[in-house]
Every structure is written in structure tokens, then in C-alpha cells.
Homo-oligomer: A and B are copies of this chain.
Amino acid sequence: LDYQHVQVPFEITLWIMLASLAKIGFHLYNKLPSVVPESCLLIFVGLIMGGIIYGLNDRSPPVMDSDIFFLYLLPPIVLDAGYFMPSRPFFENIGTILLYAVVGTIWNVFGIGFSLYGICQVKSFRLQDVSLLHNLLFGSLIAAVDPVAVLAVFEEIHVNEKLHILVFGESLLNDAVTVVLYKLFRSFCEMPTIKSVDVFAGVGKFFVVGLGGVLVGLSFGFTAAFTTRFTKDIRVIEPLFVFLYSYLSYLTAEMFHLSGIVAIISCAMGMKRYVEANISLKSHTTVKYFMKMWSSVSDTLIFIFLGVSTIGDNHEWNWPYICFTVIFCLIWRALGVLVLTFFVNRFHVNTITSKDQFIIAYGGLRGAICFSLVFLLPDFHRKKLFIAATTVVILFTVFVQGMTIRPLVDLLAVKRKRESAPTVGEQIHIRFLDHLLAGIEDISGHWGQYYWKDKLEYFNSKYLQKILLREYDQPKSSIVLLYEKLERKHAIELAQAGQLGHGPAHPSFLSSSDRTVITDQKLEDTPNPDVLDNMQEILARNLYRIRRTGPAYNRHTLPGDSEPTERAKEILILRHKSL
């Protein structure tokens, strides 16, 4: 037996296996995941595992290594989040998200830090040796909402899209602030005196860390898109580039002390549309599927490790400090959300309701990022107290808040996510309004979001697409793409039902009663089959016209751009067929 030789990969594989089997186990008994969020169950499994290890070895089980967390477990989750980020609501609410992420987080850090310092002044609590700087350092790591925890809980409760993107976007973008503040206070702790110039340097760093992350991410994203231009002959390694370049963007950002999370998100969002157009359909399925799989495994491992790491004797228990930490975390977040939303609502027509505000405040879950940061603290005599407080805050938010948020959402009747995808009609309508608003903004000289979106689209179609896409063509209208997708799905289901027309062999296929059955099968996940069916028929008859008029939506191309001869030919073919 030669265990030493295979130990590392063997144990990693076993942990992943345990995580996957735990996931299967939860889903075997169907009622459990609908009551308790999976994250809680996983932490619970971790606690049991930790207890077993502690019992067998009689010493603390190994703590989740911060390097492993930041270098290997976090990137897949963030990549998944960035790649599948719904870009429309994200950019529509980018201002609010940034306000919550930057100002809100700073507010929380200083609020929690100063009030905990106040608590430390109470003599009977015996905490007078915890300095203000240490409290602020602790505040900087405990203030940030955790994307992994937020995603795990919010994915299950299906609140409306805007609410979801506000909480989730904040949890992703606050990374830049956390990185800066955490490193700033940590270096202040080690410095003998703090000059005012250091504070200003800290403020400047915000922009460097955040914008630097965006820059690194975008450059890697565009390189990835450019690379996939040349993979036509070796389709099999296409998915690799998506993963490699995003991971490199994360590592590069971390290397330069920029925000890795911001970098990988920009990279994923930047490359997505070009990569999707360049790679094959199967490669794309693989990319999507593997990304989901990977992030799901990472997520599972993080929560299990969180549980395992909780067990052990690296905690120092101090009731007042720990209780007040939990209370201040709740209070300052609630206050911050109230104040910031007040300002946001003054400048927006589409306001954030008070119910939504409550869920935003209540959904501020803490998770593995805090946990990893607290272990990265330099050794000092109160580190164990901080570890204990962080653990309690995480467990409190994940268990208490995570488990009660679903009933609360039900109770408050918070607006849910619409179950159905937007219909073709709605999509056309939205697109039309976008162009209309861009025109209005242009005429009125107001440089708003529609104006910039239009400019970006122009830049994209004029330069970026020519460089980054293999087959640079008139971009297909998204409606045509949707139609193609529906057609493909329809076709597969027809084939599966064995009802694909083989010429005259199946004349019955065309009877209308038969067709309704098929349509029902096909559209099992869309709510309004009749409407969509009509749409589809209209599109089927007029596909030619739509494809041609698609580009006419764009203000920068003239409707008559396509060659008339080609057009005439196509019309001829279409006519010929329909006769």
C-alpha cells in the first residue's frame, strides 16, 4: 500500500465526491431542500465531518486554507456568476449597485468598527485592549456581503429580477472596497504612525483597484474572444479558452493586488457575446454545463469546509463582543440601505419599495470570504476572538437569515420573478423603446443610459465585431436567434415524438389537432402557447422580411444597405417555394 504517493489527488477527489454525494442525498428526500437552504445543510454536513475528525484525531480539524479558497474555490463561482449575469438589469441598475457596493460597504465598515470600539470601552466587558484600528480592520472584513452565500440563498427564493441584481451585484462589486479597506487597515495596524497622506492614498486606491480590475478583465476577455476566431479546425479545445483566460484574468488581478472578482466578472461579461458567436454549439453547451457544474461543486465544497473549520479550539469566546457584532451588522446594514435608498429613490422614477428595501437589508449574508480573510489576519492576541465573532456572524446570517428569508418573502408578498421568458412581442417592444429613448436622449442632449448604450452598440458593430468575430456578418437580430432556437427545440421534440414528416408517409401530421399536441409538448415551459404559436407562424412566413429589417433598427445603418440583387434572388427563391 503506497498511500503517500497518491495522497493529494486522492483526498481532493474524495472531498469532491463527498460534496457531490451530499448534494444527491439532499435531493433524494424532496421536502428537505424546500425548507432548509442547501447551504445550511452543507454547513451541517461539514460540522458533522469536523466533529468526526476532531473526535478521531483529538485535535482541531484542518481549517480551510485561505489560499485554496481564493485561488481555486472562489474563481469558478464568480466566473459562473459573471458569465450568466443578466446584463440588461445589471447595467440598468449599475448606479444603484455601485452606490450600495462602495458607499454602503464603507458605511458598514466604519459603522461597525466605531460602534464595536465603543463597546470595547465598557470596562466590565474586559475588551479595552482591542484598539480602534483593530476594530476597523475587523469591520472591514465583516462588513462585506458574500456573493457565494447570497447566490446560494437567492437562487432558491426567486425574487424579482431587480431585487436580485441589486443584492447580488452589490455582493460582487464590493470586493474592490473590501480589498482596499482590509489591506489599508492591516498595513495601518503594522505602521507606527499614520499620516494623512496615507489616508488619501487609500482613497485613490479604490479607483485603481476597481478600474484596474475592470481593465485587466476586459483585456483578457477580448483576447479570449480574439483567440476563438482561430479555433475552427480544433473545436475540441474551444471551451478551454473560456476557462483559461478568465482564470488568468483573476490571477493577474490578484497578482497586482487588484480586485480579482471584478476582473473575472468583466472578463466573462466582455467575452461572452463574441465567444458564443465564434464557438460551435456543442462547445457552448460544454462551456455552460461545465461552468455550472464547477461552480456548483466549488460552492458545495466551500460550505462543507466552512462547517468543518468551525469545529476546533481556535475560538475565544466573549459574549458581549460577539453579540454586539451580530447586532451591529444587522443595524448598520439596515440603516445604510434605508439612507442610500432614500437618495436613490429621489433620482429614479422606478423606485425601490420598502418591502424590497427590507429584503435587501435582510439578504446581506456573510460567508466564506470573511472567514478566509479573518484567518489571513496577522497574528495578534485577539485573533481568536475575531475568528469566533466572524464564525458566529456567518452561521447566524446563513442559518437564521437564510432560513427565514423565504417565509418572509412569502409573508411580505415581495414581487417575484416572472416565471416566463419575455414573449417575442415584448422583446420587439423593448427593443423599439430602447431605440426611441436613445433618439429622444440624443435630441434633448441628455447623455443618459440609452445614449451610451447606443454609442457602445455602434462601437461594437463598427470595430469590435470585425476584430473579434470569425464570420463577421450583419449581426442576427436577437428575435431571429430566438426563433431559430425555438425551431430547433421544436424539431428535436418532433423527432423524439416520431412525428417528423417523411414526405407523404405521414399526411396526418398536418392535421391541426395533431399540431396542437406537438405545440403543447414543445412549449411546456412557456406559459402562453397559443400566443407564441401564432408568433412562430408569423415569423415562419415572414422570416425573410425580419432578417432584412433587423439591421434597420440600428440608427447607424441605412435600410437599403444590403445588395439588391441578392435580395431579389432570395425573394425569388421564397416565392418559388411557396408556389
Are B71's CB and A508's CB within 8 A? no
Describe A's contact surface by its main secondary structure.
Answer: helix
Q: Which residues of B have CB within 8 Å of A244? A: 13, 16-17, 20
> Shortest beta-carbon distance, A171 to chain B, in Å?
22
A235-250 vs B, CB cutoff 8 Å, 1 = contact: the mask equals 0110111001001100
Instruction: Known A6-B255, A491-B500, A502-B540; judge A290-B17 contact (CB<8 A).
Output: no
Say whether B297 contacts A240, CB under 8 Å: yes
A24 within 8 A of B: yes
By a CB distance below 8 angstroms, the chain B residues around A9 are 71-72, 247, 251
Q: In the bound complex, what is the Cα–Cα distance between A284 and B510 (angstroms)?
A: 33
A67 within 8 A of B: yes
Q: Are A510 and B501 in contact (CB under 8 A)?
A: yes
- Which A residues from 486 to 541 make CB contacts under 8 A with B? 487-488, 490-492, 494-496, 498, 500-506, 508-510, 512, 514-515, 536-537, 540-541
Bound: A1/B5 CA distance, A? 34
With both chains docked as a complex, state the minimum distance between the C-beta of A314 and any C-beta of chain B, in angstroms. Answer: 23
- Pairwise interchain contact B236-A292, C-beta atoms closer than 8 A: yes
In residues 3-34 of chain A, which contact B (Cβ within 8 Å)? 3, 5-6, 8-10, 13-14, 16-17, 20-21, 23-24, 27-28, 30
| A563: Cβ under 8 A from any B Cβ | no
List the B residue with the shortest CB-CB distance to A21. Answer: B227
Contacts of A256 on B, CB cut-off 8 Å?
1-2
A257 to B2 Cα, complex, angstroms: 7
Known: A503-B510, A537-B503. A248 touches B13 (CB 8 A): yes
| Minimum CB–CB distance for A15 against chain B, Å | 10
> Would you give the shortest CB distance from A290 to chain B, in whole angstroms?
6
Please give the distance in Å from A72's CB to the nearest CB on chain B. 7
Question: A528 → chain B, closest Cβ, in Å?
Answer: 18
Closest to A493 in B: B491
Known contacts A239-B290, A503-B510; 10 additional CB pairs below 8 A are A13-B244, A16-B244, A23-B237, A28-B230, A236-B296, A239-B289, A239-B293, A487-B495, A487-B498, A508-B579
> What are 14 inter-chain pairs, A to B, with CB distance below 8 A?
A5-B255, A9-B247, A10-B255, A13-B248, A17-B244, A20-B240, A237-B296, A283-B289, A286-B289, A488-B492, A490-B500, A502-B540, A505-B540, A506-B578
Residues of A within 8 A of B (CB): 1-3, 5-6, 8-10, 13-14, 16-17, 20-21, 23-24, 27-28, 30, 67, 71-72, 227, 230-231, 233-234, 236-237, 239-241, 244, 247-248, 251-252, 254-257, 282-283, 285-286, 289-290, 292-293, 296-297, 484, 487-488, 490-492, 494-496, 498, 500-506, 508-510, 512, 514-515, 536-537, 540-541, 543, 577-579
